[in-house]
Structure 1
Amino acid sequence: MKTLLCLFALIAVSTALVLPPLKTSAIGCLMCEIVVKVAEDPADRDAHVVENKFDAECKATFKHLPFVDKECEAYGNSKIDPIIKELEGGTAPQDVCTKLKEC
């Protein structure tokens, strides 16, 4: 029995080390879609304007999750600029999150 337990533990550890981490998540996808929605209008693509609107929308959408303030802030700090660049580069809004591997 101990041998079997050790074998399962070894398989679990080796699988965790070998398989790449999942890069997309449902929350990350939703956050990306919020940024795209907020930045879709070319007149509103100033990074500070987008960040403020995203922060408010993100907190309203995920208000039931703990630590939502920090999650929204972290996502905004790292992802808003690439999303805006994709939109400015002509990528269709519905394709931005897929292209950035957020969804």
Structure 2
Amino acid sequence: MKTLFCLLALVAVAASFAALPQQDSAMNCLLCEVAVRVAENPADREAHTVEDKFNAECKKEFGAIPFAEKECEKYGDAKLDAIINELEGGTAPEDVCRKLKECPEN
């Protein structure tokens, strides 16, 4: 009986870890879309301006989610430069997140 219980617990833990990348990917896609919306206007692409606007917009949209503020900051620090570079390089706003592999291909 103990063996069966341990086996079931192990399967449950393994299944929860297998689901994490999909959840993380979905959140990254949403965060990327917010970042693109904020950085879309060429006049507002100065790094600190985009970062401030992204953090404010992200907190507004995801503030009800626990730890959202930290996730917004982490994502902004890691990805905003790449998003701005794609936009400045001529990538269409609707294609940026897919090109950066933050959102799945359609």
Scaled to the shorter chain, the TM-score interval is 0.7 to 0.9
Which structure has more helix as a fraction of its residues?
Answer: 2
Matched, 1:29 2:29: yes
Runs (5+) with no aligned partner, structure 1: none
Cα distance in 2 between the residues matched to 1:25 and 1:88: 24
2:86 — aligned with what?
A: 86
- Listed one character per residue, the Cα deviations across residues 28-72 of structure 1 (whole Å, up to 9, x for unaligned) are 111100110001010100010000000000001111111111100
Letter in 1 for 2:66: P
Q: 3-state DSSP class of the match of 2:63?
A: coil
CA distance in 1, matches of 2:10, 2:30: 35
* Bigger Cα Rg: 1
Higher relative contact order (CA 8 A, sep 6+): 1
Q: CA RMSD in A?
A: 2.5
Q: Specify the SS of the correspondent of 1:25.
A: helix
**Structure 2 length as normaliser, TM-score?**
0.77
Structure 2: runs of 5 or more not aligned? none
78 and 9 in structure 1: CA distance in 2 versus 1, 3 angstrom threshold: same
Distance, in Å, in 2 between the alignment partners of 1:68 and 1:11 is 29
Q: Which residue of 2 aligns with 1:55?
A: 55
Instruction: List structure 1 segments (4+ residues) > 2 angstroms apart after TM superposition.
Output: 1-14, 21-24
Change (3 A) 1:8 1:68: closer
Whether 1:45 aligns to 2:45 is: yes
Q: Using the alignment, how far apart are the partners of 2:25 and 2:94 within structure 1?
A: 17
Q: Which amino acid aligns with 1:44?
A: D
Q: One-letter code of the match for 1:83? A: I
